[in-house]
């Protein structure tokens, strides 16, 4: 049976509706639920690191206070604002799609990407500064400024958490570039904007994880 037969069979099919869905709405709902379920897995993925953080902090509270002084609160705060701003613009991109504003989708996504890049650049300078001091993870740690035998573990956790978060930011940038390419071809409209919506959901999660990382790592004390 060819796909056109199926289209007739189940009534109101639009071009973007895949053959196994009854209608556009079912497809949208499924994609959205799929993304939410995936975000649950992301939370548990990061959850392992948060747990490691909690365990070592419970054992070495004084280490965390001392080590977090090495982190630059100002730049951390700037990055927090940058990410929150990008969450706003990605939400506005979804809104533009719902309102059929083709230009708005592209512009808002471009601003989001720009903000994400600003975040990564700031992160780069933070990392570079630490490497310069000899603050490397684990066994390569050579910094002597913190008087605690387990200072290396704090920075292992720091690099794992922020590094994994950074990878998620990069993936988000990639997804949004792909969205812009599609949007410029007019792929999204108020009828169909599922990819914009679920990428937005993903981006909000990346943002939320940073909102937890910032106080846990930078704002101790």
Partner 1 sequence: MATTSSFTTGKISAETIGGNGVSLGEKEVKKLKIKRFEPVEEPQIHYLNAEKGLWSWLSTVDHKRIGLMYLAAIAVFFLIGGTLAVLLRTELLTPAKTFMDADTYNQIFTLHGAIMIFFFLVPSVPAVLGNFILPIQLGAKDVAFPRLNLASFYIYLIGAIFAFVSITTGGIDTGWTFYTPYSSSTGGNVMMMTLGVFILGFSSILTGVNFIVTIHKLRAPGLTWNKLPLNLWGLYATSIIQILATPVLAITLLLLTMERALGIGIFDPALGGDPVLFQHFFWFYSHPAVYIMIVPGFGIISEVISTFSRKTIFGYWAIALSSLAIAFIGFLVWGHHMFTAGQSSLATMVFSFLTFLVGIPTGIKIFNWLATMYKGSIQLSTPMLYALIFLFQFTIGGFTGVMLGALSVDIHLHDTYYVVAHFHYVMMGGMVMAFLAGLHYWWPKMFGTMYSEFWAKVSATLVFVGFNVTFFPQFIMGAQGMPRRYYNYIDQFQPFHVTSTIGSYIMAVGFTIMAIYLLHALIKGRKASANPWGSRALEWQIPSPAPAHNFDHTPVVLNGPYDYHRPMSEFQMGVADKKH
Least distance CB 8 / partner 1 (angstroms):
8
Residues forming contacts to partner 1 in the complex (CB under 8 A) are: 1, 6, 8-11, 18-23, 25-26, 29-31, 33-34, 37-38, 40-42, 44-49, 51-52, 55-56, 137-140, 149-150, 152-153, 156-157, 159-160, 164
Q: Looking at beta carbons only, is 42 or 70 nearer to partner 1?
A: 42
Q: Looking at beta carbons only, is 47 or 174 nearer to partner 1?
A: 47
Least distance CB 148 / partner 1 (angstroms):
9
Q: Looking at beta carbons only, is 89 or 130 nearer to partner 1?
A: 130
Q: Looking at beta carbons only, is 117 or 164 nearer to partner 1?
A: 164
Least distance CB 144 / partner 1 (angstroms):
16
Least distance CB 199 / partner 1 (angstroms):
15
CA atoms of 76 and 180, how far apart (whole Å): 29
Q: Looking at beta carbons only, is 29 or 69 nearer to partner 1?
A: 29
Least distance CB 170 / partner 1 (angstroms):
16
Cβ–Cβ < 8 Å for 56, 156: no
Give the HSE-up count for residue 83: Cα atoms under 13 Å, Cβ half-sphere.
Answer: 29
């Amino acid at each position: 049976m060819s796909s056109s037969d199926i289209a007739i069979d189940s009534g109101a099919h639009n071009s973007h509706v895949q053959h196994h869905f009854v209608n556009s709405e079912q497809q949208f709902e499924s994609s959205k639920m799929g993304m939410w379920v995936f975000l649950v897995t992301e939370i548990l993925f990061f959850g392992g690191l948060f747990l490691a953080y909690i365990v070592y902090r419970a054992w070495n509270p004084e280490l965390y206070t001392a080590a977090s002084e090495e982190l630059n609160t100002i730049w951390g705060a700037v990055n927090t604002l940058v990410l929150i701003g990008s969450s706003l613009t990605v939400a506005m991109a979804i809104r533009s799609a719902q309102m059929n504003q083709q230009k708005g989708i592209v512009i808002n996504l471009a601003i989001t990407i720009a903000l994400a890049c600003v975040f990564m650049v700031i992160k780069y300078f933070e990392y570079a500064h630490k490497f310069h001091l000899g603050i490397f993870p684990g066994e390569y740690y050579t910094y002597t400024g913190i008087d605690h035998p387990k200072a290396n573990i704090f920075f292992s956790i720091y690099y794992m958490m922020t590094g994994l978060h950074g990878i998620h930011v990069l993936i988000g940038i990639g997804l949004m570039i792909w969205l812009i390419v599609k949007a410029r071809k007019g792929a999204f409209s108020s009828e169909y904007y599922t990819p914009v919506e679920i990428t937005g959901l993903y981006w909000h999660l990346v943002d939320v994880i940073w909102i937890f990382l910032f106080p846990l790592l930078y704002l101790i004390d």
